[in-house]
């Protein structure tokens, strides 16, 4: 007779869980999976399946829900950047695929605006791609050649730089060069704005606003390109073979996409505002404290509460408050500044706003 299941917990390992009042940052484990995602992953873990067949079926279903040509589940958004770039360089040619990351003799130049560069460039460069910066439309047109494999766009910077997403895609299409958008922490709304601008593929993190598996990503776009990206990754033997996405992550991501179309996004926003109002009501009673609701940009799409004060009237720094929140029980993580801190309700759970408000009241009252 089998006994009760025994499994490790964070606490049994001496690791402290936390209240996430920052947002969907990977270093603090992104988001919590939806109950439907957790159930889908559990069910998927109980049986075997052919991954080629599964990805084909999931790709078609994601395309239907997201109103696009195809969908691909990857091992995170950075993996998506790598896989799509590999597909743009090597396509489905077995010899070229096996050659990467050596790109000798292959078209491997990726054009990108300087304002769109960031730390995730590495996921593109690891394929053997060479990133070349272009600032204007004229620069872009002049730089395109038979060595150009891909145009790269960073979604957060879509309004920065001199070349719009639509212009990038238009010029790319004129030369048969795909455009890839990194929109990791953005909302994958349908119809997709980037695809409407002409982009060939756009990548998202599965473990951020979608609240799918943390070790999963989602790519939407042109079917031929995304299927080539899949061939350049696990379970196939190519450059991105280490970036394995298992049946559990695939089905969990499928569930997250299904739920994205069912979730009441306006109700979620209203709840986030209510949570911030609970915190505001506590902090505004202290001398010189001022609060302001900041609207989001493209990523971490939720309202954020900024809290600031005059340290000559309230003698404590923002970093001190943040440190005490992190060191207390429960552990609470917020962003801090010299004379304040901010609260993002995006990844907070039920009743955690009151826990946060009580802890802030305790810390500031002791000053």
pLDDT, one tens digit per residue, over 13-46 is 999 999 999 999 999 999 999 999 999 999 999 9
- Answer yes or no: are the C-beta atoms of 264 and 270 closer than 8 Å: no
For 148, counting Cβ atoms within 10 Å of its Cβ (0-12 exposed, 13-18 middle, 19+ buried), the class is: buried
Q: How far is CA 325 from CA 13, 265, 358, in A?
A: 22, 29, 11
Position 6 scores a pLDDT of 87
pLDDT beyond 90 at 64:
yes
Confidence class of residue 266 from pLDDT cuts 50, 70 and 90? very high
Is the predicted pLDDT of residue 59 greater than 90, yes or no?
yes
| Segment 70-106, tens digit of pLDDT | 999 999 999 999 999 999 999 999 999 999 999 999 9
- Per CATH, the architecture of 11-26+264-365 is what? Alpha-Beta Complex (3.90)
Give the Cα separation of 160 and 274 in Å (integer).
Answer: 32
pLDDT value, residue 237: 95
**How much is the average pLDDT of 330-355?**
96
> Given this model, what pLDDT does residue 156 score?
84
Q: Please check whether residue 180 is in contact with residue 197, taking contact to mean a CB–CB distance below 8 angstroms.
A: no
What six digits make up the tokens of 360?
A: 């802030």
Q: Say if CB 205 and CB 185 are below 8 A apart.
A: yes
What pLDDT, on the 0 to 100 scale, is given for residue 157?
A: 81
Cis before 259? omega within 30:
no
Which whole number is the average pLDDT over 146-174? 93
Does position 1 have pLDDT exceeding 80, yes or no?
no
- In the predicted model, what is the mean pLDDT of residues 287-302? 93
What is d(CA 123, CA 319) in angstroms, rounded to the nearest whole number? Answer: 33
Which option is the CATH number for 31-260: 1.20.1050.10, 3.40.50.300, 3.40.50.920, 3.40.640.10? 3.40.640.10
Q: Answer whether 187's CB lies under 8 Å from 301's CB.
A: yes
Q: Looking at residues 254-259, what average pLDDT do you find?
A: 98
Answer positive or negative: Cα dihedral of 271, 272, 274, 275: positive
Q: Which helix (H) or strand (E) holds 148?
A: strand 148-154
Mean pLDDT of 135-150: 97
pTM: 0.94
Domain boundaries, given as residue ranges, for the chain:
11-26+264-365, 31-260
Q: What is the pLDDT of residue 2?
A: 65
Mean pLDDT computed over every residue of the chain: 96
- Asked whether 32 and 347 are in contact (CB, 8 A), the reply is yes
The whole-angstrom separation of Cα 246 and Cα 5 is 24
Radius of gyration of the chain (CA): 23
Strand segments (E) across 10-97: 18-20, 70-74
């Amino acid at each position: 007779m089998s006994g009760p299941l025994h499994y490790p917990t964070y606490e049994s390992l001496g690791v402290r869980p936390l209240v996430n009042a920052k947002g969907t940052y990977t270093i603090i484990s992104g988001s919590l999976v939806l109950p439907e995602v957790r159930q889908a992953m559990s069910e998927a873990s109980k049986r075997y399946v052919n991954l080629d067949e599964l990805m084909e079926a999931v790709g078609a279903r994601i395309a239907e829900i997201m109103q696009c040509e195809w969908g691909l589940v990857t091992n995170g958004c950075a993996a998506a950047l790598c896989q799509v770039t590999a597909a743009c360089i090597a396509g489905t040619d077995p010899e070229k695929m096996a050659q990467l990351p050596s790109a000798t003799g292959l078209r491997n130049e990726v054009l990108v605006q300087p304002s769109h560069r960031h730390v995730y460039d590495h996921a593109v460069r690891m394929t053997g791609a060479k990133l070349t910066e272009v600032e204007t439309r004229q620069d872009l047109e002049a730089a395109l050649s038979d060595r150009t494999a891909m145009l790269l766009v960073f979604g957060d910077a879509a309004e920065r730089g001199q070349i719009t997403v639509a212009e990038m895609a238009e010029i790319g299409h004129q030369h048969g060069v795909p455009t890839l958008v990194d929109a990791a922490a953005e909302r994958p709304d349908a119809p997709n704005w980037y695809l409407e601008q002409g982009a060939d593929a756009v990548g998202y993190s599965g473990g951020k606003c979608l609240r799918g598996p943390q070790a999963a990503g989602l790519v939407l776009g042109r079917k031929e390109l995304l299927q080539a990206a899949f061939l350049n990754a696990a379970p196939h033997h190519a450059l991105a073979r280490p970036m394995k996405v298992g049946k559990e992550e695939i089905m969990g991501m499928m569930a997250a996409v299904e739920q994205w179309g069912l979730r009441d996004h306006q109700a979620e926003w209203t709840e986030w505002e209510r949570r911030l109002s609970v915190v505001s009501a506590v902090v505004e009673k202290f001398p010189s404290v001022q609060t302001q609701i900041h609207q989001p940009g493209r990523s971490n799409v939720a309202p954020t509460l900024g809290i600031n004060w005059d340290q000559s009237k309230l003698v404590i720094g923002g970093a001190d408050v943040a440190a005490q929140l992190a060191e207390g029980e429960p552990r609470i993580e917020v962003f801090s500044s010299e004379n304040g801190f901010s609260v993002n309700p995006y990844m907070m759970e039920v009743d955690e706003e009151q826990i946060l408000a009580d802890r802030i009241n305790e810390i500031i009252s002791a000053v």
